[in-house]
Chains A and B, each alone.
Chain A
Amino acid sequence: MNTHIALTFTQPELLDHLLALDASELDTLEFGIIGIGADTVVRDYNALESKLAGLSKERVIGHPLFTVVAPCMNNFMVAQRFEDAAAARQALDLTLDYVLTLRMRPVKVQLRLLAGPQAERRFVLVNRKP
Chain B
Amino acid sequence: MCVDGDGAGDGDLAQEHEALLQFVYMAPAGLIQARSDGEIAMINPVAAQLMMPLSRDGDLSNLFTALEDIAPDLRSRLAAFAAPQGMVCDGVHLLTPGAAKGERRMFSFSLIKLDDSRIMAMLQDITWQAQRERLLHHQEAWLNAILTGVADYALISLDARGCVTEWNESIGRVTGHGTEVVGRSMALFYPEDAITPERVLDRLHEAEQSGWSLDDGWRQRADGQRFWGSAMIAPQRALAGDNPLAAALAADDDADETGYCLIVRDMSGHHRAAEEARHAAVCDHLTGIGNRRAFFDAAETELRRWRRLPRPLALLLIDADLFKGINDTHGHPVGDAVLRHIARQMGATFRQIDVVARIGGEEFAVLLPSADLANAQRVAERLRAALEAQPAPTNAGPVRCTVSIGIATMDEATDSVDALLERADKALYVAKRSGRNRVCGPAALLIEPG
Contacts and interface: CB of A to CB of B under 8 A. Distances in A.
A71 B18 contact: no
Interface in A12-38: none
B251 interface: no
A90 interface: no
A69 interface: yes
Contacts of B26: 67-68, 71
Contacts of A71: 25-26, 28, 45-46, 49
Contact of B58 (A53, A54, A74, A97): A97
A97 B56 CA distance: 13
A106 B62 CA distance: 10
Contact of B18 (A59, A76, A104): A59
B198 to A, nearest CB: 39
A98 B58 contact: yes
B201 interface: no
B5 interface: no
Contact of B45 (A56, A59, A101): A101
Interface in B79-129: 101-102
B48 interface: yes
Contacts, number: 59
B135 interface: no
Given A59-B18, A76-B102, A101 B47 contact: yes
Interface size class of B (residues with CB under 8 A): 20 to 34
Interface string A95-125: 0011111011110100000000000000000
Interface in B422-437: none
Interface size class of A (residues with CB under 8 A): 20 to 34
A48 interface: no
Interface string B376-406: 0000000000000000000000000000000
Interface in B283-308: none
Contact of A104 (B28, B43, B49, B101): B43
Contacts of A68: 22, 26
Interface in B6-30: 18, 21-22, 24-26, 28
Interface string B261-292: 00000000000000000000000000000000
Contacts of B48: 72, 99-101, 106
B175 interface: no
Interface string B32-67: 000000001011111111001000001011000000
Interface of B: 18, 21-22, 24-26, 28, 40, 42-49, 52, 58, 60-61, 101-102
11 contacts: A53-B25, A54-B21, A56-B18, A59-B22, A68-B22, A68-B26, A97-B58, A99-B48, A99-B58, A99-B60, A100-B48
Interface of A: 53-56, 59, 67-72, 74-76, 97-101, 103-106, 108
Name the 6 nearest CB pairs between A and B, nearest first: A72-B45, A104-B42, A106-B60, A72-B49, A76-B101, A101-B48
Given A70-B25, A76-B101, A104-B42, 16 more contacts: A53-B25, A55-B21, A56-B18, A68-B26, A71-B28, A71-B46, A72-B46, A98-B58, A100-B48, A101-B44, A101-B48, A103-B21, A104-B21, A104-B24, A105-B43, A108-B58
